[in-house]
Amino acid sequence: MQIFVSRICSAFQLRAKPDVLGFTLIEILVVLFIVSVMTGIVVANIPALTVTDSFDTEMNRLRTLMMLAHDEAVSGSEELGFRTHGDGYEFLRYVDVEQKWELLEERPFRPRQLHDGQSISLRIEDVTLTIGEDDPPAVLILSSGEVTPFHLILEDDLGSRVLTADGYGGFEWDDGREG
């Protein structure tokens, strides 16, 4: 009897196999259509991704540098400053002996230029500041941990973001892009 049962099962399997092998032409065309649509979406968004990449990188860099400057001022017991110009920004250190502000040239606080199409501006107490190179910095980062409260606006062709300081070392970007 075992031989009879095994022959029935194997005969059933042979008849069932041709029905489940391969894909239909319609299934293959649907998959190709979905892949081509997804590829088109990705390729169309590549320029937008590269434009926002430099903006996002600069946003992260600014916040990180501000936090580092705050930590450096507190741990090194020194007074630091920050100032902007239309296409870049720089950090300064107050030299007690000479009683003047000195530009920081070493990494990571070296002066930086923004990418084309980006600009930066500084607002303190709802007043937009434009400061010359010989003026003291508008943002002070003190050894006591205090920071001049400010709104730092980073803009590009697609919109702007605002970095705010609460006065005690907290630096946060606003939630969404404008524009």
* 3-state SS assignment for residue 87: coil
Any domain includes 41: no
Expressed as residue numbers, the domain containing 138 is 52-173
Tokens of 175: 């939630």
Total domains, the chain: 1
Residue 142 lies in a domain: yes
Q: Indicate the pLDDT class of residue 126, thresholds 50, 70 and 90.
A: low
Which CATH number covers residue 69? 3.55.40.10
Domain-located, residue 59: yes
Q: Phi, psi (5° rounding) for residue 90?
A: -155, 160
b/e burial code for range 30-69 (CB count within 10 A of at least 16 → b): eeeeeeeeeeeeeeeeeeeeeeeeebeebeeebeebbeeb
Residue 120 lies in a domain: yes
68-81 pLDDT, tens digit per residue, is 988 998 998 999 99
Helix, strand, coil content of the chain in percent (nearest 5): 40, 30, 30
What is the 8-class DSSP label of residue 131?
-
In a domain, 67, yes or no: yes
Provide the mean pLDDT of the chain.
Answer: 78
Select the highest-mean-pLDDT range: 28-37, 117-126, 163-172. 28-37
In a domain, 160, yes or no: yes
pTM, two decimal places: 0.64
**The pLDDT value given to residue 18:** 54
Q: Is there a domain that residue 66 lies in?
A: yes
